[in-house]
Amino acid sequence: MLDTSPLTAAVERFADRLRAMPQSRLQQGAAARALELARELSARAQALEAQSGDAGAAPAREMPDAGVFVVGDQVAVAGLDLAQALRAVAAEGAPETAQAPSVMLDEAVRLVERAEAGAAR
């Protein structure tokens, strides 16, 4: 089983920071960066689910802009969805043409860390 704890830890840490940020900081760009990250993580999770057949032929859905006060939750949900999709793909064995789940996991962790660093500016 793929250990996705580095991703879940990074996502939860960033989500907690976002939830604790004042409105002014969120409006200065932290929320926009976080929403961009949530959308990317969500798109990756949906692509993995479609690849494994879990989502059927459903079209990809974009994470909505629900306001600055919910981006922490959006990051958390999208990150945890991606972690679950990565575990599922790893358990069933990814096709040889696909990127290894461990590589996708490492990329996702780096995405979260970069977004967190950008939001802290």
pLDDT at 115: 96
pLDDT at 55: 47
93 has pLDDT over 80: no
pLDDT tens digits for 38-74?
999 999 999 998 887 654 556 779 999 999 999 999 9
For the chain, the three-class secondary structure string (H helix, E strand, C coil) is CCCCHHHHHHHHHHHHHHHHCCHHHHHHHHHHHHHHHHHHHHHHHHHHHHHHCCCCCCCCCCCCCCCHHHHHHHHHHHHHHHHHHHHHHHHHCCCCCCCCHHHHHHHHHHHHHHHHHHHCC
pLDDT tens digits for 94-104?
555 467 899 99
pLDDT at 97: 46
